[in-house]
Amino acid sequence: MGVMGHSGHKNIADYRGGVLIGNFYEETQHRLTSSQGEQLLGLGARFQREATTAATQKPEGRTGAELAASYARTDLTRVGKCVPPSLKFTHGDPHEQPVQCFATVNQLAFGEKCLGEPPVQQYLWSGKTRLNAAVPISTPEGGSSSSTLLGDTKRSQWAQVADSNMYTTSAQVAASSAALQAAANPAACHTAKCVPASEDGPAPVGRKAARQFAAELDKNYHAISLRK
């Protein structure tokens, strides 16, 4: 769990309160190594600004050895050592073997239970918001409470459908009734067109503008969505 407050490695004057701190191992480790003048994991060295910020610039500019040192950018050689991607994109203790988990939403919702936890969909489809908001961690083996009864029914229905047609999806089943009605009566699915009125009565569909607005509406920048 993180702690809300001022972040220790950001300028308090530039960042408002409410920054999440202490969220990962790297946050506390960074502050510890920086305070000791070291770099995390001993890679590279502490960054020393030379010509990278406005505070280090001089109105009269740099000349001689100072200019040559700034141009050489030796700070890049100190901090630019190669760091493997496993240390850049993983969290936790860098000295321990990283643990990576890859899963899709469908696997999390409909896959088999992992590490003793039941699949998420086992406790869905209850139809009651109060029960869905408090998903139980475990239930007795072989038991089925009222909050999981509908989930068991859905799973059995999906299994029966999958035996006959493995390509059927829940979205397809939900939309099939509306699609069949639309196919049976296509005319009923079209929205009635609102015909604008004109000086001579109801204007027919497709009638172009006349009189003083005809030339303006025929200009090409209207067709290509550009302003004049």
Quick: pLDDT tens for 180-199: 777 787 777 665 555 555 55
Q: Is residue 166 part of a domain?
A: no
Q: How far apart are CA 76 and CA 49, in angstroms?
A: 10
Cα–Cα dist 104/91, whole Å = 20
pLDDT at 62 over 60: yes
Helix, strand, coil distribution of the chain in percent, nearest 5: 45, 5, 50
Question: What whole-number distance in Å separates Cα of residue 188 and Cα of residue 182?
Answer: 8
Same domain, 17 and 74: yes
My answer on whether 37 and 69 are in the same domain is yes
Q: What H or E segment, with its residue span, contains residue 5?
A: strand 3-5
Helix count (H) and strand count (E) of the chain? 10, 4
How many domains does the chain contain in total?
2
- The per-residue pLDDT for 63 is 74
pLDDT per residue as tens digits for the range 4-26: 444 444 444 454 445 554 445 55
32 with 74, same domain?
Answer: yes
CA dist list (Å): 153 to 1, 55, 137, 158, 160: 37, 68, 20, 9, 11
Q: Which of 102, 134, 161 is the last residue of a domain?
A: 161
* 168 in a structural domain: no
Amino acid at 57: Q
Q: How confident is the model at residue 172 (pLDDT cuts 50, 70, 90)?
A: confident
For residue 116, being part of any structural domain is answered with yes
Mean pLDDT of the chain: 60
- 72 and 123: one domain? no
Instruction: Check whether residue 41 and residue 76 sit in a common domain.
Output: yes
Count of CB atoms situated within 10 Å of the CB of 147: 21
Residue type, 171: A
Domain boundary among the residues 161, 182, 201 is at 161
**For 69-109, how does the pLDDT look when each residue is reduced to its tens digit (9 = 90+)?**
766 766 566 555 556 666 666 656 667 776 555 555 665 66
Residues 6+ apart with CB under 8 A from 95: none
| Same-domain pairing of 135 and 76 | no
Pair 146, 81 in one domain: no
pLDDT score of 39 more than 70: no
- What tokens were used for 55? 């505070």
Q: Would you say residue 38 lies in a domain?
A: yes
Which pTM value belongs to this model? 0.18
Q: Is residue 27 part of a domain?
A: yes
Are 69 and 142 part of one and the same domain? no
Its sign, for the CA torsion 151, 156, 160, 165, is: positive
Domain end point (choices 161, 178, 196):
161
Residue-level pLDDT at 7: 46
78 plus 119 within the same structural domain:
no
CB 19 within 8 A of CB 10: yes
- Is residue 128 located within the same domain as residue 68? no
Instruction: Please check whether residue 83 lies inside any domain of the structure.
Output: yes
- What is the structure's pLDDT at 158? 76
- What are the start-end ranges of the H helices in the chain? 25-35, 64-72, 74-79, 85-88, 105-110, 129-133, 146-164, 170-184, 214-217, 220-223
Confidence category of residue 125, pLDDT binned at 50, 70, 90: very low
117 assigned to some structural domain: yes
Q: What is the pLDDT of residue 164?
A: 79
Range of the domain at 144: 112-161
In a domain, 218, yes or no: no
84 & 122 share domain: no
* Residue 53 confidence (pLDDT): 57
Residues 75 and 145 in one domain: no
